[in-house]
Amino acid sequence: MAVSSTALVDEVVADVVDRVRGTLEDVFAAVAQVAERTTAIAAVRAAGRAPTTADLAALRPLLHERLRRRHDLISGIGFIAEPGLLGDVPAWLEWWQNHGEDGLRPLLPDLDPGTSAYSDYTHWDWFALPRATGERAVAGPYVDYLCSDEYSLTLSVPVQHGGRFLGVAAADVYLRHFEAAVLPLLRRLPAPAALVNARGRVAASTDPRHLAGSLLRSVSGRSCGPIPLTLVTALPAPRP
Amino acid sequence: MSKLSNGALHAVFAPVGNLARVDAVVRRLADAIELGLLADGEQLPGESELATRLGVSTVTLREALMALRQQGLVTTRRGRGGGSFVTAPDQPRTARLGHRLADWSTEELRDLADHWAGVAGTAARLAAHRTEPEDLVPLQRSLEEFEAARDPAARGRVYGRLHVELAAAAQSARLTKEEIRIQAEIGALICLALGEDDARAAVVELHRALLRAVRDGDAELARSLAERRVQDAMERLIGLRLTVAG
């Protein structure tokens, strides 16, 4: 229900921000588990030999369980190896996707630069940001033409062992699913509002003039804390 | 059989349109072989799986495979361990592509150019509104890669990526998918039009100007440059088409 008095609005804004944060923290919790399990796999192998794709297959029960349990929000999840990490292949994604009625399926992209122009995944934000900063990252919204052809957010965390960067654990949240989760929250606000990422790109909005994908430059709002999204409640007029 | 579910092969094996399905399947698979998406000696999926994935009947698929065999691009072996295999033909690459180009009428090429220009132009206009300089970093990288690419197949692959990345910069999943589909349809042949040094230099110059317009937020300039880029490439291709027999 919409509210109007200033104090009440502040309270609702704080609550909305908390819940948006909680929604994505749930996804990060799943990603953190994948990271932890991957580190353990890599650690076991560190002494004797390089880990292999066969070792990473041990992640599958966890990945499948997370995809099934959070099918409302998580559409893809897995580990993406730093090129050169694995002993048997130059590069690898242990990545599983939920195809709805068609079940869970692995993503098997062509990682041979000799045949695919899309073989190098290291420049995508979901890989490059955690590698550069050592911190978790929210990439997007962006069109994920590598994995799903969907407009998505990808949440990723660096996987490290003994000071070495091994790759990233990550999960995909299709924007339509994110929208379904946060629109009921935004609708509680008395005026149109938008969630904006660190680059000023709208991730969800109740203002038809500023929809997902558009840019909102130089606006201020309430930060979602450690999640790099800002709730903007005073939206500018559209450009002429 | 190799990793058949990768992104590019998704496009190769995505359902073909309703009309002239045999031709469409022949074109799709022949282009994939030209682009190296399907390698010499690679086994194609079984007939029923391939037919399902391409969205055609098995009869249509068999007709298409027959045409591909006649072109020397596919060999079929019977019995245990049998199936359809990609065969790299012994004809020079450009001669084969010329043969493929002759399958297209100039009217079909012109129609495809119009459609492609619409997609690319809209994508560029939206990208100008919706990108920050950081979003354009991968696009700059691709342009440098395109300039550096020496062999025609590599050049063709990166050329497609230039277009796909711009559609993704528009923040539109539909436009991106449409660009991927268009690249699967015409990508190998466009390489023919990029054979000359001056043609490539023109592509690079136009693409660089386009990225500048997108970066500066000049939506109308971005749109017209994107349209011109498609029209220039297709004009060269249609020019080539008129020099081949058939």
Chain A residue with minimal CA distance to B172? A143
In this structure, the answer to whether residues B43 and B72 fall within a common structural domain is yes
Q: What is the pLDDT of residue B93?
A: 65
Residues of B in CB contact (< 8 Å) with A are: 3-9, 36-37, 39, 129-132, 134-135, 137-138, 141, 157-158, 160-161, 164, 167-168, 171-173, 176-177, 180
On whether both B60 and B113 belong to a single domain, the answer is: no
Is B2 part of a structural domain of the chain? Answer: no
The yes-or-no verdict on residue B2 having pLDDT over 60 is: no
Q: Do the beta carbons of residue B229 and residue B120 sit within 8 Å? A: yes
Rounded to 5°, the CA angle B107-B110-B114 comes to 140
**B146-155, B172-181, B214-223, range with the lowest pLDDT:** B146-155
pLDDT above 70 for A115: no
In this predicted structure, what is the pLDDT of residue A7?
86
**B199 lies in the same domain as B117:** yes
Statement to judge: residues B21 and B125 lie in one domain = no
DSSP state of B135: G
Q: What is d(CA A124, CA B208) in angstroms, rounded to the nearest whole number?
A: 21
Residue A206 · residue A186 · CB < 8 Å: yes
Does residue B1 fall inside a structural domain?
no
B71: domain CATH number? 1.10.10.10
Do both B79 and B193 map to the same domain? no
Q: B48 lies in a domain? A: yes
Residue A118 has pLDDT above 90, yes or no: no
First-residue to last-residue Cα distance in chain B: 35
The CA distance from A20 to A39, in Å, is: 29
Q: How much is the mean pLDDT over chain A?
A: 91
pLDDT at B4 over 50: no
Identify all chain B residues contacting A150, using CB atoms and an 8 Å cutoff.
Answer: 173
* Predicted pLDDT of residue A46: 63
Number of domains in chain B: 2
Task: Give the integer Cα–Cα distance in Å for B99 and B112.
Answer: 19
B132 and B166 both lie in a single domain: yes
Residues B234 and B117 in one domain: yes
Rg of chain A over Cα atoms, rounded to whole angstroms, equals 19
Among B141, B148, B166, B154, residue whose Cα is nearest residue B230:
B166
pLDDT-derived band of residue B192, with 50, 70 and 90 as boundaries?
A: confident
Specify the CATH number for the domain of residue B224.
1.20.120.530
User: Which residue range forms the structural domain that includes residue B159?
Assistant: 97-241
Closest CA to A30 of A82, A77, A98, A89: A77
pLDDT at A3: 54
Check if the beta carbon of residue B203 is closer than 8 Å to that of residue B47.
no
Same domain, B151 and B169: yes
pLDDT of residue B1 exceeding 50: no
Closest CB to A117 among B3, B132, B158: B158
pLDDT at B168 over 70: yes
Cβ–Cβ < 8 Å for B125, B222 = yes
Indicate whether B73 and B138 sit together in one domain: no
Lookup: tokens for A48: 């004797």
From CA A210, how far away is CA B173, in angstroms rounded?
A: 18
At residue B15, the pLDDT reads 62
Give the chain A residue nearest B33 (alpha carbons): A115
Task: Measure A145 CA to nearest chain B CA, in Å.
Answer: 7
Who among B3, B7, B37 is closest to A145 (CB)?
B7
Quick one: pLDDT at residue A131?
Answer: 97
What's the CA gap between B193 and B231, in Å, rounded?
12
In this predicted model, which residue has the larger pLDDT, A93 or A47? A93
Q: Using the CB atoms, write b or e for A83-117: b if 16+ within 10 Å.
A: bebbeeeebbbbbbbbeeeeebeebebbbeeebbb
Give mean pLDDT, residues A80-85.
Answer: 95
Nearest CA in chain A to B139: A123
Picking from B90, B120, B151, the residue at the C-terminal end of a domain is B90
Per residue in A191-239, pLDDT (tens digit) is 999 999 999 999 999 999 999 999 998 788 999 999 999 999 988 876 5
Task: Identify the band that residue B214 occupies on the pLDDT scale cut at 50, 70 and 90.
Answer: very high
Nearest to A199 by CA among B122, B140, B169: B169
B141 and A123 in contact by Cβ < 8 A? Answer: yes
Q: Is the pLDDT reported for residue B89 higher than 70? A: no
Which of B90, B113, B140 represents a domain boundary (last residue)?
B90
Say whether both B11 and B103 belong to one domain: no
Q: Give all strands (DSSP E) within chain B, no chain letters.
A: 74-77, 83-86
Report yes or no on B22 lying in a domain.
yes
pLDDT of residue A182: 98
Per-residue buried b or exposed e for A140-179, using 16+ beta carbons within 10 Å of the residue's own CB: bbbbbbbbbbbbbbbbbbbbbbeeeebbbbbbbbbbebbb
Residue B11 binned pLDDT confidence (cut-offs 50, 70, 90): low
Is B217 a member of any domain?
yes
Contacts of A105 in chain B (CB under 8 A): 5
Contacts of B172 in chain A (CB under 8 A): 143, 151, 213
> Cβ A143–B180 below 8 Å, yes or no?
no
pLDDT of residue B61: 82
Is B246 a domain residue?
no
Q: State whether B86 and B116 are in the same domain.
A: no
For residues B108 and B68, membership in a common domain is answered with: no
Superfamily of domain A21-176: PAS domain (3.30.450.20)
**Across the interface, which of B132, B161, B171 has its CB nearest the CB of A117?**
B161
Domain boundary among B62, B90, B118: B90
In a domain, B25, yes or no: yes
